[in-house]
Structure 1
Amino acid sequence: MPDHTLRRDDDKISASILQTTESLFSKYGVENVSMHQIAKTAKVGQGTMYRRYANKGDLCMDLMKENFQDLQDSVRHYLENAGSISVKEKLFAVFKKQLYFLERHSRLFETIHSFSTSTCESAKTNFYEAPPYVFMHTLIRSLLEEAIRAEAARPVNADFTAHTLMASINPKVYIFLKKEKGYTTDEIIDNFSRTFLEPLFF
């Protein structure tokens, strides 16, 4: 069988698995769906399933790719059309987009994060090395560096600060603040800005 035919068949199987996963997650919740259930519903063998995805963390990471592409495109479009807006405003806007994105997909992010930090089972792609994390970290670091060069922000370590800013909106913390503490998304955004972003700028 030609290589392109095999690739097409593999793509169809992967697409079927991801579509089934998204449907089951929406219906039952991420934490209540097993890998076995996904494979059975998608009508693929367990071996086929695990050759593609070692665990739900890997599945969630692939499932997030298309959704994250939308966020990435939105952020890029915003920055390309931001004109003379200050770096501070740009940074605030980027984090606001990210927090709303997290709100829509918090359960998937929580699963990705839990598998990437687990001591007994880890995703094939480390959460902190995955393209979505790398993209956002690089963007935030660049904006901080721009603000520091313009002497609009304090001379902090931009790389370190970008990592810690992203860590402060860990999916588990976000869900805790929403469900246990009763904060709304807008309240989280407001408090995040006043607590973490405002102090960085003069």
Structure 2
Amino acid sequence: MKDKITLESPKIPREGVNRRRILEAARELFIEQGVENVNMHQIAKAAGVGQATLYRRYPLKGDICLEIVSEECQPLFDEVQAYLGQSKDVIPLEQLYQVIVSYVSFLESKVPWLCAVSRASTGHRPLHSPLCQWMRTTCRYLYSEASAKGDISDVDIVYTVEALLATLHNIDFHLKDEELSTKQILKGICRLYIDGLKASKSG
């Protein structure tokens, strides 16, 4: 039986070892102290790498945040992709609602640290984080499918998706500071962005 590869194993290139150390150290610090309270010096020290090594790979703290968000969110991306592939007989608006449920449930389990890291991953453009970009693409696609099937009409899909993302963007604030329940949040989102857009079948 082969020995398990560890971070110290010579089978892993040094660059890969340093990357893993940096990301794991940053993740722990962000969870413990909050992303805004952690600087690059602390990350380098916790990772056991020189600052030159850190800055050579990650010139900005936001670059570290970007990779952490991409890694952390991959299970969500895979889950939703699998769901959409297995639910082709479900109407697009119902698919969209289930995607939103998965999104909210995923973030709820990682509030507040991942939300803060996601916002920091793109500096002053928080709605362009990997998580928001993925959600934007997914929602636009499902709204377009709903429109093509006549389930929604006279809806500005691009703006509606941006409004939905703005709502979801502050999920940690809604859960922690406003003390809203997940049920309240999902019910409100469903009313505004699902049921409220359905095309009238009368007439």
Q: Bin the TM-score by the shorter chain.
A: 0.7 to 0.9
| Counterpart in the other structure of 2:3 | none
How far apart are residue 178 of structure 1 and its match? 1.9
1:17 touches 1:42 (CA, 8 Å); kept in 2? yes
List per-residue Cα deviations over 1:25-78 (Å, max 9, x = no partner): 333343443321110111111122122223332222211222211111100111
How far apart are residue 114 of structure 1 and its match? 4.2
How far apart are residue 91 of structure 1 and its match? 0.6
List per-residue Cα deviations over 1:98-137 (Å, max 9, x = no partner): 111222334233233246344xxxxxxx655554333221
Q: Does 1:183 align with 2:180?
A: yes
1:128–1:27 Cα change, 3 Å? closer
Letter in 1 for 2:122: S
| Counterpart in the other structure of 1:122 | none
1:75–1:21 Cα change, 3 Å? same
The correspondence for 1:111, drawn from 112, 117, 128, is 117
1:59–1:48 Cα change, 3 Å? same
1:46–1:34 Cα change, 3 Å? same
Q: Distance in 2 between matches of 1:67 and 1:114?
A: 15
Query: Once the two structures are aligned, what percentage of the paired residues are identical?
Result: 31
2:64 touches 2:121 (CA, 8 Å); kept in 1? no
Letter in 1 for 2:109: R
- Specify every segment of 5 or more residues in structure 1 that has no aligned partner in the other structure, as ranges: 119-125
Q: Provide the aligned C-alpha RMSD in A.
A: 2.3
Letter in 1 for 2:18: I
Q: Distance in 1 between matches of 2:185 and 2:177?
A: 13
Q: In terms of mean alpha carbon deviation, does 101-110 or 180-189 score higher?
A: 101-110
1:71 touches 1:101 (CA, 8 Å); kept in 2? yes
How far apart are residue 79 of structure 1 and its match? 0.8
Q: Does 1:157 align with 2:148?
A: no
SS of equivalent residue, structure 2 residue 194: helix
Aligned residue pairs total: 188
Following superposition of structure 1 onto structure 2, how do residues 41-80 of structure 1 map, counting pairs within 5 Å?
41-80=46-85
Q: Does 1:9 align with 2:8?
A: no
The correspondence for 2:189, drawn from 176, 179, 192, is 192
The correspondence for 2:86, drawn from 81, 85, 101, is 81
| Counterpart in the other structure of 2:23 | 18
Q: Distance in 1 between matches of 2:14 and 2:60?
A: 22
User: Structure 2 length normalisation: TM-score?
Assistant: 0.81
| Counterpart in the other structure of 1:91 | 96
Greater fraction helix: 1
User: Structure 1 length normalisation: TM-score?
Assistant: 0.81
